[in-house]
Amino acid sequence: MTQNIPAIDMVATGKRITDLRVAAGMSVRDLQDVFGFATPQAIYKWQHGTAMPTLDNLVVLAAVLGVAMDDIIVATGECLYELSA
């Protein structure tokens, strides 16, 4: 049986993180301070779609940006998997 299972679009999710951050009036430095990161590299990786926030960081990011986690992640339904019965 083939099933359509969503996959995360990392680049689109990164763009959404950037857009939500800007809409919230926050700088990358502001987010760096919220997370207590020594450098902003993780946030830039999220925004460029080369890495995703961990689940606990995603919870904090959603709270700080005032959105639901579902509003941050962009998923596509194009990933087809063959499931064995």
Per the CB < 8 A criterion, the answer to whether 57 and 72 are in contact is no
Q: Taking the domains of the chain in order of start, what are their residue ranges?
A: 2-82
Q: What percent of the chain clears pLDDT 90, i.e. is strictly above it?
A: 80
Total-model pTM: 0.85
CATH number of 2-82: 1.10.260.40
Helices (H), the chain: 10-23, 28-35, 41-48, 55-65
pLDDT average, residue stretch 43-68 = 97
pLDDT average, residue stretch 58-62 = 97
Nearest Cα residue to 45 out of 59, 31, 25: 31
pLDDT in tens, 9-38: 999 999 999 999 999 999 999 999 999 999
